Amino acid sequence: MQITDELIDYLCVLSRLKLTGEEREGRKKDLGDILQYMEKLNELDTDGVREMTHPFEEFNYFREDMITNGDDRENLMTIAPERKGDYFKVKKAVD
């Protein structure tokens, strides 16, 4: 599959990444190689096979809907890059 500049731009948006010129050329080449390698799966007939998302799909481990952790606010706020009181501080998100 041909990796175009448009596709790289699109993947950058989805991934929230900006690439340098050198990175961009690198990804165009290696993503192309890797996707080609992945296409090996097309050799297999998988019609009617159910997708397996998880090793044990039939099992789900439920627990009671109970609060077990205490008030962790300060503990979590101290590792924030920037805070204002009890809030995470970020750049303007809406005009």
The CB-of-92 to other proteins minimum distance in angstroms stands at 6
Q: Shortest gap between Cβ of 85 and other proteins (angstroms)?
A: 15
25: contact with other proteins by CB under 8 A? no
Choose between 5 and 56: whose C-beta lies nearer to other proteins: 56
Please provide the DSSP assignment of 21-52 as one string: HHHHHHHHHHHHHHHHHHGGGGGS--TTPPP-
| H or E element that contains 84 | strand 83-84
Distance CA 19, CA 11 (A): 11
Kindly state the tokens that stand for 10.
């699109």
Residue 59 engages other proteins in binding (rule: CB under 8 A): yes
**Contact positions vs other proteins (CB under 8 A):** 7, 10-12, 14-19, 23, 26-27, 30-31, 33-35, 37-38, 40-44, 46, 49-56, 59-63, 72, 75-76, 79-82, 88, 90-93
